A = this chain, B = another copy of it.
């Protein structure tokens, strides 16, 4: 999403159309799957001209990225109860539940697929979704490490890759449904490897 012109002459961006586009995108992607949604179908569903979409987004993928990013709002805050193991478990479960929601998960899979051949979209995906989650997780892990809750020699980024890797692997590469219990087992194994003496 581009920044709206903050001032100057000319008609301002129509917020109603903006929301209608994001809404149509999410609805259509849920209905037909990411690949079967076209910019034209989003435009006609939103009662908007195609040009209005191309004016503010580079592609269908970026529309969906913005819509999905909104949807991740409720798992943005990393819990901090003082118990790192419990907090990681909570957060990973929240993320898993979110992704296991079939409409949302399927839209997100479509977005990730689109990003494989669109480096700019990939960059924005990392920047807006992956990195923030990673940073929050890293911050919490470092705090825990400082408190001795996890081993001081464990590489923080590797822990993050293991935790999220287990979830995304099941999201993208498994015929089995993504379930919290399964993910929990993998997480527990990581806990066993990283537990500190504190």
Task: Please tell me if the beta carbons of A189 and B158 are within 8 angstroms of each other in the complex.
Answer: yes
Interface size class of A (residues with CB under 8 A): 35 or more
Choose from B157, B158, B192 the contact partner of A194 (Cβ within 8 Å): B192
Residues of B within 8 A of A162 (CB): 162, 165-166, 186, 189-190
| A114 to B109 CA separation, bound complex (whole angstroms) | 10
Residues of B within 8 A of A189 (CB): 154-155, 158-159, 162, 190, 193-194
Known: A35-B117, A191-B193. A169 touches B174 (CB 8 A): no
| A33 to B126 CA separation, bound complex (whole angstroms) | 20
Residues of B within 8 A of A193 (CB): 189-194
Residues of B within 8 A of A161 (CB): 166, 169-170, 182, 186
| Copies of this polypeptide in the complex | 4
Answer yes or no: A110 CB below 8 A from chain B CBs.
yes
| Residue among A112, A162, A185 with most chain B CB within 10 A | A162
Choose from B113, B158, B170, B185 the contact partner of A117 (Cβ within 8 Å): B113
Of all chain B residues, the one with the shortest Cβ separation from A167 is B165
The 3 nearest A-B residue pairs measured at CB: A193-B193, A165-B165, A165-B169
Q: Can you list 12 A-B pairs, Cβ within 8 angstroms, ordered by A?
A: A33-B117, A35-B117, A109-B116, A112-B116, A155-B186, A158-B185, A161-B169, A165-B165, A165-B186, A172-B172, A192-B193, A193-B194
